[in-house]
Amino acid sequence: MTEPAPEPVAKPPAELSTSAGNQTPGGVRYLEIGADHQGQRIDNFLLAHLKGAPRSLVYRIIRSGEVRVNRGRVKPATRLEAGDSLRLPPLRLTPAAPAVTPTAGLQARLLDAVLYEDEGLILIDKPSGLAVHGGSGLSLGLIEALRAMRPQQSLELVHRLDRETSGCLLISKKPAILRWLHQQLREGQVRKRYQALLVGGLPRERVDVRAPLRKNLLRGGERVVRVDHAEGKEARTGFRRAETLAGFTLVDVRLGTGRTHQIRVHAAHLGAAVAGDDKYGDATHNQHLSSLGLNRLFLHAAELGFRPHPEAEPLVVRAPLPEDLHQVLERLRRKAPD
């Protein structure tokens, strides 16, 4: 079998300033960091700008010392400064997959789903069933669709939602705003409220769950998360009963941390899994709910509170409960005793 010719070294993004003669005969590149990337972690910078490079490669070239800043070795968490000289080794990158054009229907849905937008960010009401990004057999996710619709903007996911979860999702339009929003997330300054339907009830009106979580991989690559008091990471979730409905409970959920599958695992830990959850829930109850029209996870990111930029006042944006979930509640209310 003939091996493919080596791919060319990735070009620096247009917003980076570079000096003449910045590539050596051996293929090493030197980039000068511009003001737009001031304060950005070097691993995030490389993941965003070395298109086609797998995460494992990015972290390997950092830890091996092949990536250097101002001639010195760095760690993944090292933050860049304007004017830094960044050394990149020769890289053979997988060619980027051809861009997939979102259908006219999807484009219209996403246009209608914008809840808030300014010069630095978009807050969108993500539809259930749409992954936030492509991968694992999906050629197109929400972020790829938005990039195709807005090719002149530098769009990045600020955080993520599960594919079946609907509601508030933040997308940055500028690297500086991405860093600002990530700072608020790290410091617990972003208020997240979800609505969920639980199978069963809560022991009291308010329940705070503090149970550390650990990611696991099952056979076949399926990702699951478990409560693990020995090796798990801190996780805090607050549940508040909003309405009791014929064996189910509608709750408001506040996140104290942002772990993968946190609400779903903590709800199951309470013995009251999220309705429609095919990974941590109950198949018998889910089958009953399907007969009532619930064919997805009943989990909705209903509200985000944050500051859009450092000088801005706090902003609260709400996403209304989708019609399909509203109809399920109405059917359960008709079944509830008077």
Q: How many residues does the chain have?
A: 338
Angle at 258 between CA 256 and CA 259, to 5 degrees: 120
Catalytic residue among 162, 208, 252, 277: 162
Torsion of CA 311, 150, 107, 158, to 10 degrees: -40
d(CA 86, CA 12): 11
Q: Which helix (H) or strand (E) holds 299?
A: strand 299-306
- How is residue 44 written in tokens? 């995030």
- 324 is known as an active-site residue: no
- Can you list the pairs that 88-91 forms with residues at least 24 positions away whose Cβ atoms lie under 8 Å? 88/9, 88/10, 88/28, 88/29, 88/30, 88/31, 88/50, 89/27, 89/28, 89/61, 90/9, 90/26, 90/27, 90/28, 91/7, 91/9, 91/10, 91/50, 91/53, 91/57, 91/61
Residue 104 burial by Cβ neighbours in a 10 Å radius (0-12, 13-18, 19+): exposed
In this structure, the strands spanning 315-318 and 299-306 are antiparallel
Catalytic residues: 162
